[in-house]
Amino acid sequence: MSSASSASYILEMKNVTKRFPGVVALQNVTLKVKPGTVHALMGENGAGKSTLMKCLFGIYSMDEGQILLDGKEVKFENSKQALENGVSMVHQELNQVRQRSVMDNIWLGRYPKKGVLIDEKKMYEDTLEIFKGLDIHIDPRRKVSTLSVSEMQMVEIAKAVSYQSKVIVMDEPTSSLTEKEVEHLFKIIGKLKQENISIIYISHKMEEILKISDEVTIMRDGQYITTKSAKELTTDEIIRLMVGRELSQRFPPKTNKPGDVILRVKDLTAETQPSFSNVSFELRKGEILGVAGLVGSKRTELLESLFGLRAIRSGTIEIHGRTINNKSPQEAIENGFALVTEERRTTGIFPDLSVRFNSIISNLRKYKTKWLFVSDSEMHNDTKWVIDSMKVKTPSQKTPIRSLSGGNQQKVIIGRWLLTKPDILLLDEPTRGIDVGAKFEIYQLINELAKEGKGIIMVSSEMPELLGVTDRILVMSNGKVAGIVDTAKTSQEEIMRLSALY
């Protein structure tokens, strides 16, 4: 290898091939990253982005190919070796020890010692120093379980920096962040670039990619397509390269027509405070009601309370004019509710179990025969329906769901709930971490479900998504309803103003 090539790139992955039983996940993929740059890695779900990064990070072993770091060939056997050599990864699905402190999570496995004892003072001060450099304001002694998703992500970025990394992989880093938090993240990335740290940035958000990236590599179906300067690209061009076809519009035309009120919520207040209080709204048959708000506005808590996961102190919930009290998720399901949660890996899937199990788990009662056995043919047919109707890419029904891409996992979860035939579908960030092609399919599905008469409540941090998909938007601010606006007549500015009202 020439010295010129060594100077040009901090990281080179050449002709990487990775096979799994029955599928070639990567075929001769190349990725070349320059020092101190943001290099976006884009492609639809199943394109092989995460598999490529897992090969880099030592989670998977390559079948063929070569990795050069700083001009020297490396082959990490595990993530520990990658970290020790200056390659770190902030995963989309955060892997943290939630019952331990922030600083414990950052220094786990490499605590500073004073003799044989852990030097708590040094650990605290070292954590504060990293936080100061990144403009992060979190108490290092706080338990991780008390942090918001965005705060957990900041902790993971700080941990990556603590390894004195040369290359940091960020997988969907803004998928659960508000616009204000995204701006903060971009400032952090700017500081990392100034220190000559390279960022490999995986995201499906086109505007973000064009704003923050220096170069963009696009993959499709496990193969390398092209690398271009971000300045040369447009949203339409990226989509064309990703999906191999023109995608004429980001949102399907709206064909649903809201009818009579099916859900009436009045003065709902959570049992545990601080949380939401005095929340009132109506949901109509065939309506898509968006829920906007900054992180901390208690959008998720509202959905979880409607689904019986959180206790209610006061207020009423009426469905079809009948007052109900969902004291548990089982009661909520019986009353016609379904909930797709925000944290897919933590609360959505059974990762080690099959696509079939994950498809039918919420509907098990349906498969019992009069002899108390379960009907295998019905389970097979329902799983086939989920795979076909959701366009899930999977080798078979028996494939462990953890081996599917994040977008395909999400499709299985949505399909699972549709099998329960709900009247009201509660969607918490339903397209988080999903590529543009799969997003369009899910938007179409949401629209079709509304057209069939389902009432849909959709929490989203993506303003274009709320404006492109919903009929009305309920804006929450600090646990209160700041306003309910007609989507066709509102603007991003009005929603942001309401979000910051309280």
Tell me the domain boundaries of the chain: 3-243, 270-336+431-502, 349-421
Average of per-residue pLDDT across 198-214? 89
Separation of alpha carbons 307 and 335, rounded Å: 10
pLDDT surpassing 70 at residue 109: yes
Same fold yes or no, 3-243 and 270-336+431-502: yes
pLDDT in tens, 301-333: 999 999 999 999 999 999 999 999 999 999 999
The CATH T-level fold of domain 3-243 is Rossmann fold (3.40.50)
Angle CA 14–217–196, to nearest 5:
85
pLDDT in tens, 17-46: 998 876 788 999 999 999 999 999 998 767
Q: What is the mean pLDDT of the chain?
A: 88
pLDDT in tens, 445-498: 899 899 999 999 999 988 889 999 999 999 999 899 999 999 999 988 899 889
Separation of alpha carbons 406 and 400, rounded Å: 13
Q: Which residues contact 67 (CB under 8 A, 6 or more apart)?
A: 11, 12, 13, 14, 16, 55, 56, 73, 74, 75, 76
- What was the pLDDT predicted at 1? 37
pLDDT surpassing 50 at residue 3: no
The CATH T-level fold of domain 270-336+431-502 is Rossmann fold (3.40.50)
| Higher per-residue pLDDT: 366 or 337 | 337
| Higher per-residue pLDDT: 152 or 263 | 263
Average of per-residue pLDDT across 285-295? 92
Average of per-residue pLDDT across 54-82? 93
- What was the pLDDT predicted at 342? 80
pLDDT bracket for residue 143 (50, 70, 90):
very high
pLDDT surpassing 50 at residue 5: no
- What was the pLDDT predicted at 348? 75
- What was the pLDDT predicted at 372? 62
Sign of CA dihedral 251, 252, 255, 261: negative
- What was the pLDDT predicted at 371? 64
- If one counts every other C-beta atom within 10 angstroms of the C-beta of residue 183, the result is 10
For the chain, give the percent of residues with pLDDT over 90. Answer: 53
